[in-house]
């Protein structure tokens, strides 16, 4: 992987969440338990959806893919953070830092696009119920999910190229627990005015555009439900409420972080925890505790395992 001219930095030092040893131990315990919950909760959803024929609708197909992306996205940052919390010197090689940055944006952007597709799925189910099975066929679902991954890859390639073309020849301390474009490019030994604007127009505007599409979708859904309210629409509205909670946890911090060129704050690393840790933790809880079909399927799976 080529680097910018005159780059001399071979490693970065991650300052992490705290310098206090006692707090580091507490953070390790908390985030270890959170990571285990993410793995077990999302794996449970994947296994449940894949093994229960009653959960064959497009909504559950997309939910299964969301759980897989959550596992991938969290695994980019959490294992490294857990190791660093127990290490005296939190060092990451330049190449490892760039790789972490690439896969974070790859999975993160893919999740943004997938959440937008899930909103479109709910819009179609509620506003166009007679054409739902035709519009959201299994083939269309596969195309949409593949497009989400492709879009995430293209986004991440752009972000990575914006970073590696910069020269790094001096400061190497990153005030965070993982490598990300905003924190890394500020260590470059050059003017990053254009790079920051490109970063904001890429990550920031993608986050904002997806969020606006989501808001528009749910506005149409609420209008439709208000006009022709039925018991079935109430069930759909409950599902949408779960989706809105996930969207809020994920998109609001992303928009705040990536749509602010030339601005940084020590609290940014704590805000990042909302979409790197807390959102993946909450997804299985929100989608299972508020969904009777998923809870019933998990109970049937549990009874089969006991037998």
In this predicted structure, the answer to whether residue 233 has a pLDDT above a threshold of 70 is no
Q: How far apart are CA 219 and CA 227, in angstroms?
A: 13
Here the tokens at position 80 are 């490294």
CA distance 80 to 159: 21
Please give the structure tokens belonging to residue 222.
């609420």
Q: How many domains does the chain have?
A: 1
For 22, the token pair is 């006692």
| Domain CATH for 202 | 1.20.1070.10
Which stretches of the chain are assigned E, i.e. beta strand? 11-14, 91-93, 173-174
176-15-156-244 Cα dihedral, nearest 10 degrees:
-20
The answer to whether residue 307 sits within a structural domain is no
Task: Label residues 57-79 b or e (16+ Cβ within 10 Å = b).
Answer: bbbbbbbbbbbbbbbbbbbbbbe
DSSP string, 263-304: ---TTHHHHHHIIIIIHHHHHHHHHHHT-HHHHHHHHHHHHH
CA distance 221 to 188: 46
In a domain, 293, yes or no: yes
Return the closest-CA partner of residue 163 out of 185, 147, 144: 185
**Residue range 3-31: mean pLDDT, rounded:** 81
Kindly indicate the confidence band of residue 152, based on its pLDDT and cuts at 50, 70 and 90: very high
Average pLDDT over residues 222-229: 70
Q: Which DSSP category does 202 fall into?
A: I
180 with 141: CB under 8 angstroms? no
pLDDT tens digits, 259-288: 876 666 767 888 888 888 888 888 888 877
> What was the pLDDT predicted at 105?
94
Closest to 290 measured CA to CA, from 249, 245, 248: 245
State the residue for tokens 């090689």: 93
Domain-embedded: residue 2: no
Q: What is the pLDDT of residues 236-247, one digit of tens each?
A: 666 667 677 778
What global pTM score does this model have? 0.88
Longest Cα–Cα distance of the chain, Å, equals 66
Q: Which residue's entry shows tokens 């001096």?
A: 170
Domain presence at residue 1: no
Q: CA 142 from chain center: how many Å?
A: 20
> Which domain covers residue 238, as residue numbers?
11-300
Q: Are 241 and 290 in contact (CB under 8 A)?
A: yes
Give residue-wise pLDDT tens across range 76-100: 999 999 999 888 888 999 999 999 9
| Residue 3 in domain | no
Averaged confidence pLDDT in the chain: 85
Q: What share of the chain is helix, strand, coil (3-state, %, to 5)?
A: 75, 5, 20
Question: CB 24: neighbour CB atoms within 10 A?
Answer: 17
Average pLDDT over residues 25-43: 93
Q: How far apart, in whole angstroms, are the C-alpha atoms of residue 196 and residue 173?
A: 19
Backbone angles phi, psi at 86, to 5 degrees: -105, 5
Q: Are 188 and 166 in contact (CB under 8 A)?
A: yes
* Separation between Cα atoms, residue 201 and residue 164, nearest integer Å: 18
Task: Please tell me the predicted confidence (pLDDT) of residue 279.
Answer: 85
């Amino acid at each position: 992987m080529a680097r910018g001219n005159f780059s001399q930095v071979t490693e970065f030092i991650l300052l992490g969440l705290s310098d206090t040893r006692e707090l580091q131990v507490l953070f390790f315990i908390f985030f270890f338990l959170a990571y285990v919950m993410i793995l077990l909760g999302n794996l449970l959803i994947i296994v449940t959806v894949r093994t229960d024929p009653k959960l064959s609708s497009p909504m559950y197909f997309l939910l299964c893919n969301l759980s897989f992306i959550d596992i991938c996205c969290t695994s980019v940052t959490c294992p490294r953070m857990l190791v660093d919390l127990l290490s005296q010197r939190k060092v990451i090689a330049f190449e490892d830092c760039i790789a972490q940055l690439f896969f974070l944006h790859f999975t993160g952007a893919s999740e943004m696009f997938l959440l937008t597709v899930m909103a479109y799925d709910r819009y179609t189910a509620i506003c166009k119920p007679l054409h739902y099975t035709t519009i959201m066929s299994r083939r269309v679902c596969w195309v949409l999910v593949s497009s989400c991954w492709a879009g995430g890859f293209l986004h991440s390639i752009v972000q990575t190229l914006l970073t590696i073309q910069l020269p790094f020849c001096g400061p190497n301390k990153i005030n965070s627990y993982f490598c990300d474009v905003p924190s890394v490019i500020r260590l470059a030994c050059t003017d990053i005015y254009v790079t920051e604007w490109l970063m904001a127009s890429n990550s920031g505007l993608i986050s904002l555009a997806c969020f606006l599409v989501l808001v528009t979708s749910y506005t149409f859904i609420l209008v439709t439900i208000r006009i022709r309210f039925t018991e079935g629409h109430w069930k759909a509205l409950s599902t949408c409420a779960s989706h809105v909670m996930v969207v809020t946890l994920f998109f609001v911090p992303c928009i705040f972080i990536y749509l602010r060129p030339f601005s940084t704050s020590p609290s940014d690393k704590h805000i990042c925890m909302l979409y790197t840790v807390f959102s993946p933790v909450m997804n299985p809880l929100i989608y299972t505790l508020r969904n009777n079909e998923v809870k019933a399927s998990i109970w049937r799976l549990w009874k089969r395992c006991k037998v």
